[in-house]
Amino acid sequence: MNPVIEVASLRKNFKDRNGASRAVLRDLDLTVGAGEFLCILGPSGCGKSTLLNVLAGLDKVYEGQASVSGGRVGYLFQEPRLLPWLTAEGNLDFALTSCKVPASRWSELKSRYLAMTGLSDYRDYYPHQISGGMAQRLALVRALCVEPGVLLMDEPFSGLDEITARRIRSDLLTIWEETRKTIVFVTHNAYEACFLADRILVMSGGAFRQEMRVPIARPRSYDDPAIFQLSRDVIKAFGDEIGRDTVPSAIPASEPGLVDDLDRHAAARMNI
Amino acid sequence: MLKVLSMVAAVIVWGLVSLTLPPEIFPGPIETARTLWGEIAKGDLWTDLAMTMLRVVAGLLLALILGVPVGVLMGLNRRAEAVLDVWVMIGLTVPSLCYAIMAFMWFGLNEGAAIIAIAITAAPSITINIWEGVKNVDTRLVAMARVFEATRPAIVRRVLMPQIFPYVMASARFGLGIIWKITVLVELIGRPNGVGFKLFYWYQLADMKQVLAWTLLFTIIMLLIELCILKPIERRVFAWRPQVAV
Give the best residue of A52, A55, A81 to mutate against chain B (max B CB count within 10 A).
A81
Same domain, A191 and A106: no
* B150 contacts in chain A (CB < 8 Å): 94, 98
Whether the per-residue pLDDT at B165 is higher than 90: the answer is no
A181 backbone dihedrals φ, ψ, rounded to 5°: -75, 155
Please indicate, yes or no, whether residues A131 and A177 belong to a single structural domain of this protein.
Answer: no
pLDDT band for position A135 (cuts 50, 70, 90):
very high
Closest in B147, B150, B159 to A56, CB measured: B147
* Residue B244: per-residue pLDDT: 58
Least confident segment among A62-66, A168-172, A248-252, B96-100: A248-252
Could you tell me where the DSSP H helices lie in chain A? 48-56, 88-98, 106-116, 132-145, 162-179, 190-196, 225-243, 264-270
pLDDT confidence tier of residue B202, bands split at 50, 70 and 90: very high
Q: Which of A106, A125, A148 is the last residue of a domain?
A: A148
- Is A164 part of any domain? yes
Secondary structure in 3-state letters for B95-139: CHHHHHHHHHHHHCCCHHHHHHHHHHHHHHHHHHHHHHHHHCCCH
**Together in a domain, A219 and A94:** no
> Is residue A167 located within the same domain as residue A253?
yes
Q: What ipTM was reported for this prediction?
A: 0.80
Evaluate whether residue A76 is within a structural domain: no
Is residue A111 over pLDDT 70? yes
B148 CA to chain A: closest CA distance, Å? 6
Residue A193: CATH number of its domain = 3.40.50.300
Q: Pick the closest to residue A248 from A8, A20, A4 (CA basis).
A: A20
Q: Do the Cβ atoms of A58 and B147 come within 8 Å?
A: yes
Domain contains A77 = no
Domain boundaries, chain B: 44-235
Q: Is B80 on the interface with A (CB under 8 A)?
A: no
Tell me, what's the pLDDT at A242?
53
Residue B239 has pLDDT above 80, yes or no: no
The residue out of A98, A124, A148 marking a domain boundary is: A148
Q: Tell me how far apart the alpha carbons of residues B155 and B166 are, in angstroms, rounded to a whole number.
A: 17
Residue A102's domain comprises 86-148
pLDDT of residue B76: 86
Q: Quick one: average pLDDT of A251-268?
A: 42
Residue at which a domain ends, from A105, A126, A148: A148
Please give the residue of chain B at the shortest CA–CA distance from A93: B148
pLDDT for A259: 39
Tens digits of per-residue pLDDT, A161-196?
A: 999 899 999 999 999 998 889 999 999 999 999 999
Residues A8 and A115 in one domain: no
Query: What is the longest distance spanned by two Cα atoms in chain A?
Result: 54
| Predicted local distance difference test score (pLDDT) of residue A269 | 44
Tell which wins on pLDDT, B243 or A254. B243
**Chain B partners of A94 at a C-beta cutoff of 8 Å?**
145, 148, 150, 158
**What tens digit of pLDDT does each residue of A144-166 get?**
999 999 999 999 999 889 998 99
Count of structural domains within chain A: 2
What is the mean pLDDT of the segment spanning A224-246?
A: 75
In a domain, A79, yes or no: no
Q: Is CATH 1.10.760.10 the right assignment for the domain spanning B44-235?
A: no
Q: Are residues A36 and A116 in the same domain?
A: no
CB-based contacts of B8, cutoff 8 Å, min separation 6 = none
